[in-house]
Amino acid sequence: MNIGNLVWNVYHGGLRFGTITGKELDAKGWAHFTVDWHDDGIYDDAMKWMNKLRNTDDHKRLYRADELTLVSSEHLAKAIASHTPHFRSRTPEIPVC
């Protein structure tokens, strides 16, 4: 993994996407990364709520290499493009009483 790579991570079932912005190695040789997360409001809101309950600042800033997975932006774009026709062709749901 390198600076500039697109990665994903899951937090409590929520899929997060971000770009690696920094890398450092610890004494044991583990790589830790800083990530600029994209459209991450759900995670941010969860952290604000938890920090308020605990009176702390537990917003995670460094991620070990095993907590992140590389993703190809081209693959992601193709997956979204393939999904779009299915979404547009759906018939409206009719509520059942």
In-domain check, residue 75: yes
- CA Rg value for the chain: 18
As for how many domains the chain has, the answer is 1
Q: Dump pLDDT digits (tens) for 61-95.
A: 899 999 999 999 999 999 988 887 776 666 666 77
Q: Which domain holds residue 83?
A: 6-88
In-domain check, residue 62: yes
CA distance 46 to 52: 10
CA distance 68 to 20: 10
3-class SS of residue 17: strand
> What pLDDT band is residue 41 in, cutting at 50, 70 and 90?
confident
In-domain check, residue 58: yes
CA distance 95 to 97: 6
In-domain check, residue 38: yes
